[in-house]
Structure 1
Amino acid sequence: MTQKHENDISYLIRQAAYEIHMTLGPGLLESVYETLMCHELRKRGLAVQTQVALPVVYDGLRLENSFRMDLVVENKVVVELKSVEVLLEVHHMQLLTYLKLSGYKLGLLINFNVPLIKAGIFRKVNGLPEQSASSAQSSASSAG
């Protein structure tokens, strides 16, 4: 079994979000979108963990259940789901903090409460190496 690259996983995650949003649209609870995303990602053959505990270590003190990441896909990509009227800067910072604390290199912030889902998907990186030109081109063409 071959390991998928973060960018390939990201493509499948975005594809699942598009499918759900096209079918059901905005306005559902975040917990509903989380369940549906898990279903769609598993249909695509991806391993998905939900509500993954993320400890914080500070000055020798370890806080075990400080945060919960909504989804971790293929043990490589963090997905933070929202269903809010407006994403705030704190939502973006939350995902960046999760990436920093967990050591994962790629995260997606997805807000389903938008008219067009592509306006609600944000990619965040934490030291992810540059992708090849062919991957970059296919990712760019699939994002639009």
Structure 2
Amino acid sequence: MDVNQTKEIVFKIVGAAMTVHNAIGHGLREKTYERALVVEFQHVGINYDQQHRYPVLYRDVKVDEYIPDLEVEDFIVVDTKVVTKIHDDDIGQIINYLKITGKSTGLILNFKHPKLEWRKVTYNPSSPS
């Protein structure tokens, strides 16, 4: 996926999140926003997967599994939040999610406040950590 396509899809996702935010308000449960985004994605024709399971491996042994909220267009992990502010911990968490899923782009959507907060995070496995 090239940079312009990524920007376009991120723009569509954020637009869908703003539509949801404006319609149902702020401060509800994270799961509420995830489910509302699914409805909005269907309405506007955004391809998504919900609750896909990924194994978390340590020394090639499955020690857990990660289940992202949403994946869009098979390369963006979308994480819904209802937190005071998106912190470095949230960014670190989504980078780990990108490593586990093999995706390149993460999008954190925070529905806590009257104005939607969002952060795009990219991960390149070939760059040094």
**Shared fold by TM > 0.5?**
yes
User: What is the Cα deviation at residue 92 of structure 1?
Assistant: 1.6
Q: Where do 5+ consecutive residues of structure 2 fail to align?
A: none
Alpha-carbon distance between aligned partners in 1 of 2:7 and 2:110, rounded to the nearest angstrom: 19
How many residues matched? 122
Residue correspondence of structure 1 range 1-144 to structure 2 within 5 A: 5-63=5-63, 65-117=64-116, 120-127=117-124
User: What is the Cα deviation at residue 21 of structure 1?
Assistant: 1.2
SS in 2 for 1:52: coil
SS in 2 for 1:34: helix
Q: Where do 5+ consecutive residues of structure 1 fail to align?
A: 129-144
Alpha-carbon distance between aligned partners in 2 of 1:83 and 1:36, rounded to the nearest angstrom: 14
- Identity rate, percent: 29
Backbone CA RMSD of aligned residues: 1.9
TM-score by length of 1: 0.76
TM-superposition CA deviations, 1:45-90 (whole Å, max 9, x none)? 1221112212112212123x52110000111110000112343432
1:69/1:79 contact within 8 Å kept: yes
User: What is the Cα deviation at residue 123 of structure 1?
Assistant: 0.4
TM-score by length of 2: 0.84
